[in-house]
């Protein structure tokens, strides 16, 4: 990242090369951020400090957002020919449930991201079904598959097949985090795989129907920018670069912002 950032100072750079360097910096930054977030999540799970926030929401919305995300990611990774397909039950236009929507999406992103990493041709299918008092989700791919030895180690940190380790990047933390999150949600996960044919990850969580759709709609509407209008925000930040970034992204919000250099100053302002 630092090297390409330095190259941006070259005066003779054409626009295409400059944009390429910027893309590389952004991609590398995201990889670093993902690594840090993964390590933090593992630490919090192991320490019992990761909190689950169960709330009512509409499931199909999250699934469609995830599909859109990976339609974009496959192009960014040069895998335009891969098919990403979301399968929804034909008899359900919407499904309101209660669980932690952020952690559910994190689980889906981990599993589909893993499938995208190890799939060069064919496609990735994902979806869900209702089985009694459980929601059953699946992610199926036509990737490289796993051996019996790989299957025994699949949810253990930093373990992967030798072939995959040579060819693909990654921390090996995603599946370990996924299992930890499912434990916290009261769920379970399993996998079936064949070398050269692909893998199917299946996970289940308790099916808790939402009691009030009206309450959900109210919650979703309250999240918008208008909810912030007239509010006051106090930010304690002593790092000049971070403060500059926050000023840029917050300047369009209809709020009054107060700045403090440290926690003590923030308490005095508060």
> Do residues 65 and 193 both lie within one domain?
yes
Cα–Cα distance, 43 to 49 (Å, whole number): 8
- The answer to whether the beta carbons of residues 149 and 11 sit under 8 Å apart is no
226 has a pLDDT exceeding 70? no
Does 130 map to a domain? yes
pTM of this prediction exceeds 0.75? no
Taking only the tens place, the pLDDT of each residue in 11-50 is 888 888 888 888 888 767 876 776 787 788 888 888 888 8
- The answer to whether the beta carbons of residues 123 and 84 sit under 8 Å apart is yes
Range of the domain at 20: 2-45
> Do residues 125 and 162 both lie within one domain?
yes
Does 220 map to a domain? no
Domain count, the chain: 3
- Residue 198 half-sphere exposure toward CB, CA atoms < 13 A: 17
> Do residues 104 and 173 both lie within one domain?
yes
> Do residues 192 and 260 both lie within one domain?
no
């Amino acid at each position: 990242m630092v090297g390409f950032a330095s190259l941006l100072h070259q005066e003779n750079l054409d626009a295409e090369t400059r944009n390429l360097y910027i893309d590389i910096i952004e991609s590398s930054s995201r990889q670093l951020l993902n690594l840090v977030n993964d390590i933090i999540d593992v630490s919090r799970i192991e320490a019992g400090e990761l909190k689950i926030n169960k709330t009512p929401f509409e499931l199909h919305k999250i699934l469609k957002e995830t599909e859109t995300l990976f339609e974009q990611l496959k192009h960014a990774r040069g895998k335009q020919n891969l098919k990403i397909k979301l399968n929804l039950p034909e008899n359900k236009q919407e499904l309101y449930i209660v669980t932690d929507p952020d952690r559910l999406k994190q689980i889906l992103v981990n599993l589909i991201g893993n499938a995208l990493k190890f799939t060069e041709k064919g496609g990735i299918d994902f979806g869900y079904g209702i089985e009694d008092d459980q929601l059953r989700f699946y992610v199926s791919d036509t990737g490289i598959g796993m051996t019996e030895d790989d299957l025994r180690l699949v949810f253990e940190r930093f373990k992967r097949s030798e072939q995959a380790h040579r060819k693909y990047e990654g921390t090996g933390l995603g599946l370990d985090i996924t299992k930890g999150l499912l434990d916290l949600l009261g769920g379970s996960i399993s996998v079936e795989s064949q070398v050269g044919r692909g893998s199917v990850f299946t996970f289940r969580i308790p099916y808790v129907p939402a009691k009030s759709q009206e309450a959900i709609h109210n919650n979703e509407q309250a999240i918008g920018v208008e909810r912030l209008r007239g509010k006051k925000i106090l930010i304690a930040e002593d790092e000049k670069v971070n403060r500059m970034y926050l000023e840029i992204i917050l300047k369009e919000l209809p709020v009054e912002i107060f700045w403090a250099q440290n926690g003590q100053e923030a308490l005095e302002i508060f």
